[in-house]
Structure 1
């Protein structure tokens, strides 16, 4: 058992990055606004995204290099496109996860009600930790965080389920423009944006450095544990939103502090007021871990991309990109932050409409000559991948045609 736990790591980092906004914010909001009506979307998007996420650790362990190195082999245009897309989205994504963490800090600690202040403080704390601890800190801490959050969420959902009235299981497709926009946002980060596959490949290589005997099979087991955890917890958060808020006429606030109060109330209404601090700290720790994970991953990926593109040497530095991301995130806090809900929705929609690109290049990479033949996806996985590309592309075209035409 101990040996198995030691081999877990990148998959739990994946779960830590994914469970944040997509679960605590989007899944609870889906339950509060639509009941269990969007459960189909949660399950389908997890199903169709699975191959593309799995290709990250598969490629890394099979070849000994990251997806980014593989992208470069597909052509300079691919790696340049990745660079541009990441620059375009990383500040919004980092701000979105950090502002939810800041809202929870306002609710829990009460030192200041200024959510921008908390956002800056949390960003600086994460940057400091990563500057000294780096991967080892993430690898060890995430195991405890995921266990604590999983237990508290399972218990809360179970107790809420036992106290509830009859549940309506009818599935719905939002008819309104606002509802459809939320559906796309919900799927955009469920369980996470597809570029996490790049992060996962980098984390897998870091894990390999520490465990030389780590195999592809063990890495995929680690990934599956993390992925299954995100699906089960996603369902739990939709259930909590449904059981506690659906039909009450109360929706989630777009204010960070008010949202945090409502989020913690989801748990305490089921577990009792005595659980306030336990649940509050669990939720805060989860979002803090997401903030920490994303602040590690984007700079790690950008430094590697800059190295591949042979950009100025300073741009190949992990610490340089942490500094850039910290400054950019703080700038968004001060100049662009007026509505948390809109910010989260923008970040998640951007992630969804770029998903077909990441899905396609991941599929081409692991199916082509750059992947050792015995590790390439089998016939079933290829069909699954093509179906996933059709699903993601279809919804993206539908969304763009609805809002841009």
Structure 2
């Protein structure tokens, strides 16, 4: 019986792991580390809060896909074509900045690992070309296999660094150290940026549904709703625990030390890797540098796949009336979108130059402003006429959803208000 449950879980596992790898990249390695380094452990409460507030809207992507055997993007069309068009416009408006931010950070870890900063911006060009090539040839099968190995490496290295950091204790604070102010304009904008991608952008919930369907197709196994939700919940829990660990690591190594995390992407990567090696030992540098780059590489591949897959499905639904004509008309669009996203993201990276923090903060805040719209769409789809009663979320999740929508909307309005006053 136990073997049967494990077999079922192994066939279901994949979409949640992809979600975790997408989330763990910039929001954890960059933003959570910065949060601990600049503000200490006071950010832990905000991270736990936003993880809780966003949870229902990510879960609904998996829930809808399992229950209807269609993606939640198909559901947006059921809400009305304006809803689908709005999702399309929101995706187009954010995808170059999000992919650019993730690609820029990944390039930094690549340069740090191989010491190739002399090729400069060509690092990102080569990196994007490799990602497009891998996905154009292998698509989900390669992505699924690669991500599972990456997550195992990440868990082992992060757990090791975390427990070593706890053993050694926090760094000694320099005389006269004054912590950064959280409740001034700069502090509030950083808080919004941190929550914007914690654990990731809400509009990426559509990717969960697409990956869930693709996993079913790959294994020829339709999991029960509770199996799909269990796999996602475990992955979501892991992303939350790792976020806490990265904040603790940033606090223990950098907070009060007088050191500032660099704004250059390769220098930042070197500092993050040093964060690990100072707690584990210098002997681990190459292992940690390889692991960090591998994690970011998995993130950027997942981002390319998610955006291309969601754009393809959105275009299919907008421009095709009959379902049976969709695949023949748009089957090559996936690769086309891979190329478009890579080119547009490169333009964004070149525009921001070498300003890592500005690019990441802009992308994450943009995602936070978009979040309430997607949250409302997802909630309507799983609580209305589109799902059977037994497939709909519990009363607790519905209450949490209402709270989450108010929370996300309130912060989005607050951000716009603060920006207007600047």
- TM superposition score normalised by structure 1: 0.96
**Could you tell me which residue of structure 2 aligns to residue 111 of structure 1?**
116
Alignment of structure 1 residues 93-112 onto 2, 5 Å: 93-112=98-117
The DSSP-based 3-state class of the residue aligned with 1:38 is: helix
**Could you tell me which residue of structure 2 aligns to residue 403 of structure 1?**
419
Structure 1 stretches of 4+ with a deviation exceeding 4 A read 165-168, 311-316
Q: Is 2:263–2:354's contact at 8 Å kept on the other side of the alignment?
A: no
Residue 298 of structure 2 corresponds to residue 282 of structure 1:
no
**Cα distance in 2 for residues equivalent to 1:77 and 1:172:** 44
**Could you tell me which residue of structure 2 aligns to residue 358 of structure 1?**
374
**Cα distance in 2 for residues equivalent to 1:254 and 1:381:** 39
**Cα distance in 2 for residues equivalent to 1:230 and 1:113:** 34
**Cα distance in 2 for residues equivalent to 1:305 and 1:173:** 43
**Cα distance in 2 for residues equivalent to 1:365 and 1:31:** 37
Q: Is 1:356–1:392's contact at 8 Å kept on the other side of the alignment?
A: yes
Task: Between 20-29 and 172-181, report the one with greater CA deviation.
Answer: 172-181
1:164 Cα deviation (Å)? 1.2
Q: Is 1:103–1:115's contact at 8 Å kept on the other side of the alignment?
A: no
The DSSP-based 3-state class of the residue aligned with 2:98 is: helix
Alignment of structure 1 residues 126-141 onto 2, 5 Å: 126-141=131-146
After superposition, what is the alpha-carbon deviation per residue over 1:296-316, rounded to whole angstroms, capped at 9, x for unaligned?
110100010001000795697
**Could you tell me which residue of structure 1 aligns to residue 249 of structure 2?**
240
Alignment of structure 1 residues 249-264 onto 2, 5 Å: 249-264=258-273
**Could you tell me which residue of structure 2 aligns to residue 20 of structure 1?**
25
After superposition, what is the alpha-carbon deviation per residue over 1:281-307, rounded to whole angstroms, capped at 9, x for unaligned?
110000000000000110100010001
1:331 Cα deviation (Å)? 2.1
- TM superposition score normalised by structure 2: 0.92
Residue 316 of structure 2 corresponds to residue 307 of structure 1:
yes
1:6 Cα deviation (Å)? 3.8
Q: Is 2:197–2:368's contact at 8 Å kept on the other side of the alignment?
A: yes
After superposition, what is the alpha-carbon deviation per residue over 1:339-369, rounded to whole angstroms, capped at 9, x for unaligned?
1110000000001111111111100111111
Residue 130 of structure 2 corresponds to residue 125 of structure 1:
yes
Q: Is 2:22–2:200's contact at 8 Å kept on the other side of the alignment?
A: yes
Q: Is 1:83–1:302's contact at 8 Å kept on the other side of the alignment?
A: yes
**Could you tell me which residue of structure 1 aligns to residue 187 of structure 2?**
179
1:16 Cα deviation (Å)? 0.5
How many residues align? The count is 403
Alignment of structure 1 residues 133-212 onto 2, 5 Å: 133-165=138-170, 174-211=182-219, 212=221
**Cα distance in 2 for residues equivalent to 1:74 and 1:316:** 27
